[in-house]
Every structure is written in C-alpha cells, then in structure tokens.
Amino acid sequence: MDETSPESSKSLVELVGQKHALLKSGDLYALIGVERSADVATIKNAYFSLAKLLHPDVVARQKLPDLERQSIEVFKGLSDAFATLTDRSKRLAYESQGQKGAGAVAEKVQRDAASEAKIWYHKGMLLMQRRVHGEAEACLRKALEFDKLSPKILDGLGWAIMNNEAKPLAPRLEEAKKWFEKALESPSQDSSGDPYYYLALYYKALGDSAKQRLCLQDCISINPRNVEALREQRLLSMRARKKGESQFFKSIQKMISKYTAKKN
C-alpha cells in the first residue's frame, strides 16, 4: 500500500488513536501489543515493528498536522515501555506496582512534551531579543508541536511572524493575526491579557487606532498591571492629543488667513 495513500493515512490515524488511548490506560504490554508472558525477543520485535510505523518523522510525511503531537507522545510512551519491559529489574518493579507504575509512564510522556515546549519557546524568545526573527519563528513552530494550546507560544509565534521581514508584509500580518486569535480562543488562557496586547500591535501596524485602543482596553481590564499595554495606551493617547492640538492650530491658522484675506 502506498505510504501516502488515503487508506494508509486512515490506518495510521486509527493506529495512533488506539495507542494513545492505551498510553493513557497505562498498560505497557497492551501498548506494545504483546502478552504479559512475552519474552524479550518478542517485545523487541513488536516494538521495532511499531516504531517503523509510528515514528514522528513517518507521521510528518503523511501531512497530518493534528496527528503529530499524538504520535510524539505515543512514540515516547512506546520507547519508555520498551525500556521497562526489556530490563528484568524494571519489569519486575512495574509488575509489582501494577497500573500505578504504568500510569507513571504516561505522566512522564506529558512532562517530557511540556519540557520540550518550554525549551523551544525560550530558544525562540531569545532569538526574538536578538532580532533573528526567521530562526525564532522556526523554534516557536517547534514549540507548538509539543503544546498546541499555550497562549504564550501562540502569541510568540504570531509576533515572530509579524516581525519576520523576509516575508511580504500583508501575508505575515494576516498569519500573525490568526495566531493571536488562536491564543484568545485557547482553553489554557491565563490572566496576562497578552493576546489582546499582541492584537493591539497588529492593529497598530495596520494604522487602525480605534481597534488598537479597544484591544488595549480589553488587555488592561484583564490585567491592570500589563506594563506593555499600559505603555502603548499612553503612547496612543499622546498621539491622539498631539493630533488634536495640531488640527486645532491648523483651524486657527485657517481662520486667521481668511480674516487677513478679507481685510486686504
């Protein structure tokens, strides 16, 4: 069967889904697909057969982005299960602890994914500080593979894209907006108000001061101590005041000019 055929993709989706469910159940034998009485050779054969199918690189080639994070978690779970069941002392300890020991594997996978996300996020933000926006964008996209719901990662990715001058302005602004809006919709939303702040910067880049002001107000209502949003709000108010003063003086000058013209 063709590796990229619809049938192959469907089978892969089903297999990853099944293994992900088993990962959560904590049954290492069922995860690898062997009997509890299986010897080491049987476990090795089963593991390597699954690894060929479920390696994250194999899944990535199928172009199924929604499946990639699950495949990473499953592959980590399989690797940890393999390490446990092929080591006599670890296997005995696992069996003596029962499902409690297996559940620890699933927890470890989740911790590993969270750690990877943090590592790539911090790399990306450091590169942003150095203004290496293209590389920052790549790191933040990597972080998103491990945590697709983090508002911080979504905002960071949007900001990196927005500042990546290697891309045309209009497309990168629209893509940045998409990530900021995803951050707003995330169930992992925190109390920083940052997604509204970044949306305000998007509208600032568009020159839409009315929407920029609304987003800043939303951000500050969520987090009255958001320093960046407060600063942007002050700058916006100062620009509006200067613009108003400028228009006032222009109107006065116009009136004086008309009066002088009539007098002459």
We report the CATH number of the domain holding residue 86 as: 1.10.287.110
Find the domain containing 80 and state its range: 1-97
Q: Is residue 174 part of a domain?
A: no
Q: Is residue 147 part of a domain?
A: no
pLDDT for position 47: 93
Q: In angstroms, how far apart are the furthest CA atoms of the chain?
A: 111
pLDDT for position 20: 86
Q: What is the Cα–Cα distance from 171 to 145, expressed in whole angstroms?
A: 22
Q: What is the Cα–Cα distance from 96 to 84, expressed in whole angstroms?
A: 13
Q: Whole-model pTM?
A: 0.54
pLDDT for position 4: 47
Q: Is residue 204 part of a domain?
A: yes
Output the domain CATH number for residue 244: 1.25.40
Number of domains the chain is built from: 2
Q: Is residue 181 part of a domain?
A: no
Domain boundary among 97, 131, 157: 97
Q: Is residue 146 part of a domain?
A: no
Tracing tokens 């010897």 back to the chain, one arrives at: 39
Domain boundary among 77, 97, 117: 97
Which residues are CB-contacts of 249 (< 8 A; sequence separation ≥ 6)?
none
Which pLDDT tens digit goes with each residue over 159-207? 999 999 999 999 999 999 999 999 999 887 778 899 999 999 999 999 9
pLDDT for position 68: 75
Residues of the chain with pLDDT under 50: 1-6, 101, 245, 248-249, 252
pLDDT for position 239: 77
pLDDT for position 85: 92
Helix 151-163 to helix 99-129 angle (10° resolution) is: 30
Q: What is the Cα–Cα distance from 96 to 82, expressed in whole angstroms?
A: 17
Domain boundary among 38, 70, 97: 97
Q: DSSP states of 154-175 as a string?
A: HHHHHHHHHH-TTS-HHHHHHH
Question: The tokens of 150 are what?
Answer: 């983090």
Question: The tokens of 51 are what?
Answer: 């690894």
Q: Is residue 218 part of a domain?
A: yes
Q: Is residue 107 part of a domain?
A: no
Q: Is residue 103 part of a domain?
A: no
